[in-house]
Amino acid sequence: MRTILVTGGAGFIGANFVRMVLEEHPDTTVVNLDVLTYAGNIENLKGYTANPNHVFVRGDIGDAALVAGLMDKYKIGAVINFAAESHVDRSLVEPGVFIQTNVQGTLTLLKIALEKKIERFVQISTDEVYGSLGPEGFFTESTPLAPNSPYSASKAAADMLVRAFGHSWGLPYNITRCSNNYGPYQFPEKMIPLMINNALNNKPLPVYGDGLYVRDWLYVYDHCTAIWKVLTKAPAGTIYNIGGNNEKTNLEVIRLILNRLGKPHSLIHHVKDRPGHDRRYAIDSAKIMKELDWRPTVTFEEGVNRTIDWYLANTDWLKHVVSGQYQQYYESMYANRR
């Protein structure tokens, strides 16, 4: 029996990870620390809050006393740090909170993990720390970091802190850098669920710039299995890129969604671009495939079908998350893009 501290486990990827662990690894207890920002949603853990292997704690990763107390109380063996401010557009409007959570919060976790002699610290990072690619080539683990947005700069800073704690004091760590995830429970500020939600409501689909930006899409369950492999099999002090080998332009993805929902392409509206918009991300996953025997299992077509089916079957979830604050966010974020 092992006990892990998952931070940000009420967010999109964290909740999918917690669900996977509780379903597939019943010898593991999950202590789930999440402050429940706008993106954190206890509904994402429906059916699992009373699970005897799951303890949910509402709190901030920057609260040192709380984190230290949890590590002692539950004899935490490993930390998997998902907690973050995760949306690029928001970071361009309000970068301070990204530094607070992604940098300061991670620093607090690192200090306490070191003090409590945690066996493994897994930092969930992103391919965005590598910057942007031209039409050719892939990010490998040795690609120099060149973050372009306040979000990716804060994630790169956190990665550097994790590395420094390993180098200076021997903290046993891993860093994972994944490409764009999609799937159930993703907050509809991100491209795929935003487009599904707008299409369902016959609202215009706001495509930034020419829509020819490329992302390497990975179904969230495949990201979760990769993280589990890293947690349980990787040597300390290693970094793994995780990708779907599945490059698509934004317009390709949006047309697929419209076709699948039987909605007209006339809903597509090109709007003002994101400042500093990274043109292309593409991941070379050879290292994790070779060393940890990980493979993505869900094709893009299958993943998009599953995702759309999930949003269609969970209209209540969608209604709850898009009410109130989301409406204000949508109005302010898209008002000056028209």
- Interface residues with ligand NAD (CB under 6 A) are 7-8, 10-14, 33-37, 39-40, 60-62, 82-84, 86, 101, 105, 124, 126, 155, 178, 180-181, 187
DSSP labels for 196-263? HHHHHTT--EEEETTS--EEE-EEHHHHHHHHHHHHHHPPTTEEEEE--S-EEEHHHHHHHHHHHHT-
Q: Quick one: what does residue 250 bind among ligand DAU, ligand NAD, none, with the CB cut-off 5 to 8 Å set by partner type?
A: ligand DAU
In the complex, minimum distance from the CB of residue 156 to ligand NAD, in angstroms, rounded to a whole number: 11
CA distances from 163 to 85, 124, 211, 292 (A): 20, 13, 36, 21
3-state secondary structure of 3: strand
Q: Which of 85, 128, 222, 247 is catalytic?
A: 128
In the list 28, 102, 108, 180, the residue contacting ligand DAU (rule: CB under 6 A) is: 180
Minimum CB–partner distance for residue 144 and ligand DAU (Å)? 17
CA angle 225, 195, 181 (to 5 degrees): 15
The reply on whether position 128 binds ligand DAU by CB under 6 A is yes
Query: At 57, phi and psi to the nearest 5?
Result: -125, 125
Structure-block tokens of residue 291: 């060393």
**28 is a site residue for ligand DAU (CB under 6 A):** no
Q: Is the dihedral of CA 229, 118, 46, 63 positive or negative?
A: negative
Judge whether 128 counts as a catalytic residue. yes
Find the binding residues for ligand DAU in span 273-292 (CB under 6 A).
274, 281
In terms of Cα–Cα distance, which of 158, 27, 160 is closest to 82?
A: 158
Q: Which residue is nearest to ligand NAD (CB)?
A: 11
Encoded amino acid at 282, one letter? A
Of the residues 130, 151, 173, 182, only one is catalytic, namely 151
* By the rule CB under 6 A, 88 interacts with ligand DAU: yes
Catalytically annotated residues: 127-128, 151
Contact positions toward ligand DAU, by CB under 6 A?
86-88, 126-128, 179-180, 190-191, 194, 206-208, 213, 215, 250, 274, 281
